[in-house]
Amino acid sequence: MKRIRSTTVLAIKHKGKVAIGADGQATLGNTIAKSNVKKIRKLSEGKIVTGFAGSTADAFTLLDRFDEKLSNYSGNLKRAAVELAKDWRTDRYLRRLEAMMIVADKNELLVISGTGDVIEPDDDLLAIGSGSEYARSAALALKKHAPNLSAEEMVREGLAIAADICIYTNHNLVVEVVE
């Protein structure tokens, strides 16, 4: 998958809840343009949460398309994700978009990419963006060594660790929980 250098989004399914969070930094090249962008959105009356990394305008275009797919497929997360990925890969306009998305409901976590990938994790966590490997590593350690933490606490801590390391990630976090 293409590596997006712009943010960090982390999603964890733990103890029957799904938490997804992102930092708030927007960059233009290697300059901070804004520090409080909201990269997490609730859809389908709060039953589905999305997080995006990459070009903001591109991400909003994908978010609108995903919301359309959810409407077309009666809120079926996996079906909407697959249909968006097919369009993203084959549509001449969408193919040029530079973003990735994590989508989640109370049962599933999926990452959707422009190469047509819809990936469901084996370990109930996903991360995208420039700080994704830091956040993912921290989250894996927390799941293993601090299972008493909630999904939201794990997301917050994983993102905080990524923000300490990754210059494209800051500490202005937005975290949403789906129960």
Question: Which residues are the active-site residues?
Answer: 7
What's the per-residue H, E or C state across the chain? CCCCCCCEEEEEEECCEEEEEECCCEEECCEEEECCCCCEEEEHHHCEEEEEEECHHHHHHHHHHHHHHHHHCCCCHHHHHHHHHHHHHHCCCHHHCCEEEEEECCCCEEEECCCCCEECCCCCEEEEECCHHHHHHHHHHHHHHCCCCCHHHHHHHHHHHHHHHCCCCCCCCEEEEEC
